[in-house]
Amino acid sequence: MAPDGPSFIREAAGGGCPIGVSGFMRLESIEVRSRDEYRGGQEPEAFLWREKWYTVARVLDRWVEGRPDSTRLPMRYFRVQTVDGERFIIRYHEFFTAWSLVVPHP
C-alpha cells in the first residue's frame, strides 16, 4: 500500500501530530455529510475520500485553529473513527466552506 493510504493516516491520526518530517500538512479535498443543526460544518457524519464513502462512528477529538477576526478565520479539525475502526483527521475551513482530509507528508 502507498505511504499515503489509510493505514498511514491511521497511524498519524491515532498517534499524535498529523504533520510529516518537513512540518507541512498535505490536504486532500473531500465531500462531507455533516450534522448542521445550527451552523455549517458542525460535525461530520460521513465523508467521501478517493471514491470511497466512510461512515463516522464517533468523533474522538475536535479543536479549532485560528481566531474569529478579519486576518484569520477559524478552521475546525475533527479526529474521527469510522465504523470500520479507521481513524482520520479532517478539517473544515469556515471561510471557504470546504472540507479536507489531513494526509501526512511522506
Q: How far apart are the first and last CA of the chain?
A: 13
Among residues 54, 58, 70, which one has the least CA distance to residue 94?
70
pLDDT tens for each residue of 64-99? 887 666 666 778 999 999 999 999 999 998 888 899
Whether the full predicted model's pTM is greater than 0.75, yes or no, is no
Within 10 A of 97 (CB to CB), how many other CB atoms are there?
Answer: 9
E strand segments, the chain: 26-29, 31-35, 43-49, 52-65, 75-82, 87-93, 98-103
Kindly state the average pLDDT of the residues 31-40: 75
pLDDT tens for each residue of 6-27? 443 433 444 444 444 345 678 9
